[in-house]
Chain A
């Protein structure tokens, strides 16, 4: 498993780097509107309607942005939680913790692809 993690390291770092860069760039806009502004009634009525949200998310660019918003933060999260676990619990459990976290991120990413494709 350790060898597999080492072999996959370039891919993991690519996804982690995309997660920290693209995820961080995209998240404030999403959090201020869909996650906070809409539910708290800070946006105009039409802005939070299902029809409008569906039209934006089913657009090819909208799908791409939504997929990036879901999948990339998972890889940033998995990699940094792995580093945090290694800091606190030492390198002994790193292979198990790392494998588990990357598996969660991979499953979440596949689920994101399926969910975005289904919209």
Chain B
């Protein structure tokens, strides 16, 4: 197997005479809907980070025993946690809708011998998976089955 190339192997020894200015957020970004949506999409990262660590607390409570679990459920009923989890739900739905719309456009035209399905089909498949997995989790975690 070939040795991986150095990641900066193609970097010129001297910077080119004309430099591209680094992209910056305009001061009035909050008046530009497309910019705002893009920044909000990135800002959901803060919510995802926090959700990950809160879910870690769920796993630790399960390991610690019934009292820790009861304490966790009691904490989750507090307005701060309820508000955060509602915000998380809105963020996840926003990310899902935006990302699933983007995903088919980002696919290569051909994957080896196979062609990916048409964009609308791929888009619909993502929604089917999303809905089926969500229903499955609602059924299992919601106490319907088993």
The residues of A with any CB-CB pair to B shorter than 8 Å are 3, 6-7, 9, 19-21, 23-41, 43-44, 46-48, 50-54, 56-58, 66, 69-74, 76-84, 87-88, 90-91, 104-105, 108, 111-112, 115-116, 118-119
A78 vs B51: C-alpha distance when bound (angstroms)? 12
State the Cβ distance, B1 to closest chain A Cβ, in Å: 15
User: Within 8 Å of chain A (Cβ to Cβ): is B124?
Assistant: no
State the Cβ distance, A20 to closest chain B Cβ, in Å: 6
Find residues 40-79 in chain B having any chain A CB closer than 8 Å to their own CB.
Answer: 41-56, 58-60, 62-63, 65-66, 69-70, 73-77
Contact A29 B133 (CB under 8 A): yes
State the Cβ distance, A29 to closest chain B Cβ, in Å: 2
Consensus secondary structure, chain A interface? helix
Enumerate 24 A-B pairs (CB-CB under 8 Å) in ascending A order: A9-B7, A24-B95, A25-B133, A27-B51, A29-B133, A29-B135, A30-B55, A33-B137, A34-B76, A38-B73, A39-B73, A48-B143, A50-B62, A50-B65, A50-B70, A51-B66, A66-B55, A69-B52, A70-B52, A74-B53, A79-B45, A80-B42, A80-B45, A87-B42
What residues of chain A lie closer than 8 Å to B39, measured between beta carbons?
A: 84, 87
A87 vs B22: C-alpha distance when bound (angstroms)? 9
Contact A50 B66 (CB under 8 A): yes
Contact B142 A73 (CB under 8 A): no
Contact A57 B77 (CB under 8 A): no
